[in-house]
Chains A and B, each alone.
Chain A
Amino acid sequence: MLAEFGHFALLLIVVTGFGQAVLCSPLWLRSSIRSSLLGPATVLAGGSPGPFSDGPGNMSVRLPTQDLPRQTSPYLILPLGILVLAIIAEAGLLHAFIVSDFSLPIVADVSHSSTPLLFRIGAAFTPDGGAMVLWLLAVSLVNVVLAIQLFTPEKSSYAQDDDGSLYHNALSVLGLLIAVLGLATLIDADPFLRMAVAPLDGRGMNPQNQDVLRVLREPFLYLGLAGLAVIYALTISGLLDKKFDRRIAETMRFWTIMSWVSLGTAIAINAYRSYSQQAWGNWWYWDTAENSLLLPWLLTTALVHCRAVLEKTETLKGWTAFLGLSALAVGWFGVYLTRSDLFGPLTETLMKSGDSMTLLIGFCVVFAGSYYLFWQRSDNLGEPRPFEPISRESSMFLNSVILALIAAVVLIGTIYPLVLRWLGGENITVGGPFYVEVLVPMTVPLLLLMGFAPTLRWRQDEVWLIGRRMKLAAILSLIIFLFVSIRFIDLSPAPLIGIGLAGWILTASLSDLWARLWRQPDHGESKYRNLQLLGPRYLSMTLAHIGLAVMLAGGAASSIWEEQIVVSARAGQSIQAGPYNLQYEGVSLLAGENYATRQAKFILYRHALPVTELYPEIRYYPIRGVETREAGIWHGRDGDLHVSVGDRADDGGRVVSVRFLPMMTWVWAGMILMLTGGAISIVTRIFLRFQKNGVSAS
């Protein structure tokens, strides 16, 4: 019964979404129809200290009718209503999964009565319909946050330009997006349909997804995409009003970082799962699902930088607007790619209801319109302020151009085989080797730039000044690079260059930090002034850059110095890998909650001292009749030890694969550092916002 409530809520979301699109639109708010029905829009007095009371100078220029209502109820009630409806829809779906209501085909397809509770919930996120409901919930959530932003205008230096139109437009666009997504859910993959005759039990969850981290991937992914929807809505809003300016950039700040962190977390989870689950596995395969995560993240990274330039100097308007539109475009298209039957065998989503045509049509209509608007408004996106080719603005611009270029290449590589097949050509594969060959030459200038870009001055800088600032870092990293490449001359160049570049970014970031900390304070300044001047923005940026360098160094080093041993082992045998020694203790048959497992036991010694015990497994899930493998992993100081077991070998032993990946821990630590950098920025942003509002209210 709850599922029917959910179904109805989903239907209402579409209607309410359209309602929000119309009612929040400034066109409607200013229209004569509304005036005749409700009287002219008025601003309630005595409310939050909005920008209207800011400067008396402003009031004289602006016509009273232009002031849009900030406090009349529909603008918070509608988003709140949609959120409640989305929660009901999600709750209805989750309930069906939790109680294993197999009369819903979606539950019967990806769940089973023996699936543990946590994974029954996780299973609700993976099929097309479930993913769409989760996406809707995420967009509804950010919709409410945006509406709250509308009612608590920020005391910022740019706020006096704000008449609320920015938020009204954005809410209107978000309402439309919600309606389109809701419609696509209902038409393409309605999760609440019922079968006349319910099967006795379900077909079971995809065992690959039965993992705590993997369950978390989906919420992060869709939260990231929802953040991109807000960025998109704000961009459209600015374009409509012909005011794509620093005010928008300021509002976008939270959303770009939030999306960047969320998508980054989803990518990190994906990589770690590949690494630990596909027991012989890599951590990146360049497959469709991974690329469709990577694409929006690349463009969001570009956006994080461009947005900063726009806020600071009001330049790069057109380019930032283009990225703002494109980030959601690639994210949306990626969602379509991962679930479309057009595009070949996909293990991620197991339920195929139709071909997600509505999602594709919605995508085409929404973005054709958006890019047309962008083209129409391109004259308003001029660049009033100049900057020199050597300047901070310029470095951020080039960085985002290269990132967009990388994204374009990845996109082409991802869809090329699909388009070729669709055109009737033969099947081809675009795999890792292609991307490496093509992308390495593009990443080298990007990473070189990354080292000195944060030290550049705004507007204009001089080469000799850069040289003076970067002298130490350049020399140090060159020494590292030369040392490594002479010492390991017979290795292929790519990882060596990677280590060199990682050293460059690391030393450059640290030397910049050092220079800022030991700057001679001006007269009368306290000695903590330097620390204050750094600020959360600088710290989070430095942390993210250092994180990337650490990850790069780890990835390069582990690929060079990896040790791999595959043996047929017997109980008691010990296997040497790097500084570690693994003693194989044999395999025992155990029963998991919904699987049987052959669990091997290894005792790990480091220089003859016992460190830990590792239990790699081969699990057998009888419902699907699928085997999965779980590696045993030890994250040590000097690298990862990765052990997995295979079948019985012909000679009666057990196939054991042991890998020692030096500095692999750095890859994971680097990812965590990058995400922490972003998270610091978000937390301080929220904190400062509340602090400011608190101060202004008192």
Chain B
Amino acid sequence: MTRRLLTLIGTLGVIMPLLAGNPAWAVNPDEMLSNPVLEKRARDISQELRCLVCQNQSIDDSDAELARDLRVLVRERLIAGDTNAEAIDYIVARYGDYVLLNPPLKPETYILWASPAVLAILALLAVFAFYRRKQREAAATTTSLSRDEQARLDEILGTSKDDGRA
């Protein structure tokens, strides 16, 4: 059972990262390539490409006519001997960066790609500053115990030590 599962995973091996949920097969059997290696590559590429008429669906998920055309096109390019990158470039050259679900890094998207890191750093700094201020305020407001109070406290703590925390 386990071996079957493993071989299944090995051959299909389609793992979408956690948050993306599950990839689905919109692929029709007649589109599929007989060569499993090529087919696997085609699936990988398809999940990176957007169905142009849908909302953020990959062409792998979509059953729209246009998505089907693109899937067939990807497979044609792979059969023609393209690498994955060449096949994607081929599609991008015709449809623009819009087809890429993961936006490419270029001057227009610098802000997009930098924003999470920048925001995270800003948040870290803000949290740090918050604790610094907190500490200063605490230092300013807390008055230390008087001698008698300290003695009384020690006494209480000393006697209740054997009680332990309930």
Contact = CB atoms under 8 A, between A and B. Distances in A.
B148 interface: no
B101 A566 contact: no
B29 A566 contact: yes
B97 A398 contact: no
A345 B14 CA distance: 30
A659 B166 contact: no
Nearest to A647: B28
A433 B101 contact: yes
A434 B15 contact: no
A383 B15 contact: no
Given A383-B137, A431-B102, A284 B21 contact: yes
Contacts of B57: 278, 281-282, 285
A389 B131 contact: yes
Given A386-B137, A412-B115, A432-B58, 12 more contacts: A284-B19, A428-B97, A429-B98, A429-B101, A433-B47, A440-B19, A498-B18, A561-B9, A564-B23, A566-B27, A566-B32, A661-B22
20 contacts: A282-B22, A398-B127, A401-B126, A404-B123, A409-B115, A416-B111, A426-B97, A426-B108, A428-B103, A431-B50, A432-B56, A436-B17, A492-B15, A492-B17, A494-B17, A495-B17, A520-B166, A522-B166, A646-B28, A659-B22
Contacts of A438: 116
Q: Which of B15, B115, B127 has the most CB of A within 10 A?
A: B15
A442 interface: yes
A442 B116 CA distance: 9
A495 B13 CA distance: 13
Contacts of B111: 416
A488 B8 CA distance: 12
Contacts of B116: 409, 412, 438, 442
A56 B28 CA distance: 79
Contacts of B150: none
B56 A431 contact: yes
Contacts, number: 207
Interface string B105-145: 00011011001100110010011001101110110011000
Contacts of A416: 109, 111-112
Q: Which of B17, B28, B32 has the most CB of A within 10 A?
A: B17
A442 B130 CA distance: 20
Contacts of A562: 14, 22-23
A67 B139 CA distance: 38
Size range of the chain A interface in the assembly: 35 or more
B56 A286 contact: yes
Contacts of B9: 488, 490-491, 560-561
A250 B24 CA distance: 46
Contact of B61 (A280, A405, A426, A664): A280
A280 B120 contact: no
Contact of B55 (A346, A495, A561): A346
B18 A495 contact: yes
Given A282-B22, A559-B16, A651 B30 contact: yes
A567 B29 contact: yes
Given A558-B22, A646-B63, A564 B29 contact: no
A563 B26 contact: no
Interface of A: 278-289, 345-347, 382-384, 386-387, 389, 397-398, 401-402, 404-405, 408-409, 412-413, 416-417, 420, 425-440, 442-443, 488, 490-492, 494-495, 497-498, 519-520, 522, 555-556, 558-564, 566-568, 629, 646-647, 649-651, 655, 657, 659, 661, 664
Contact of B20 (A284, A382, A386): A284
Nearest to B115: A412
A181 B125 CA distance: 38
Size range of the chain B interface in the assembly: 35 or more
Nearest to B23: A282
Nearest to A667: B21
Given A442-B120, A559-B15, A559-B18, A434 B96 contact: no
B141 A384 contact: yes
B151 interface: no
B96 A426 contact: yes
Contact of A283 (B21, B27, B109): B21
B53 A345 contact: yes
B42 interface: no
Contacts of A408: 119
B48 interface: yes
Nearest to B117: A438
A408 B47 CA distance: 25
Contact of B19 (A288, A405, A435, A566): A435
B87 interface: no
B101 A629 contact: no
B5 A432 contact: no
A429 B100 contact: yes
B29 A649 contact: yes
A287 to B, nearest CB: 4
A427 B96 contact: yes
Nearest to B29: A568
Contact of A281 (B12, B53, B61): B61
Contacts of A650: 30
Contacts of B141: 384, 386
Contact of A413 (B20, B99, B112, B127): B112
B24 A433 contact: no
Given A437-B102, A655-B29, A285 B10 contact: no
B60 to A, nearest CB: 9
A389 B53 CA distance: 49
Contacts of B12: 563-564
Interface in B27-62: 27-30, 32, 47-48, 50, 53, 55-58, 61-62
B101 A564 contact: no
Nearest to B48: A433
Contacts of B14: 562, 564
B18 A494 contact: yes
Nearest to B26: A280
Contacts of B63: 279-280, 629, 646
B5 A561 contact: yes
Contacts of A387: 134
B27 A555 contact: no
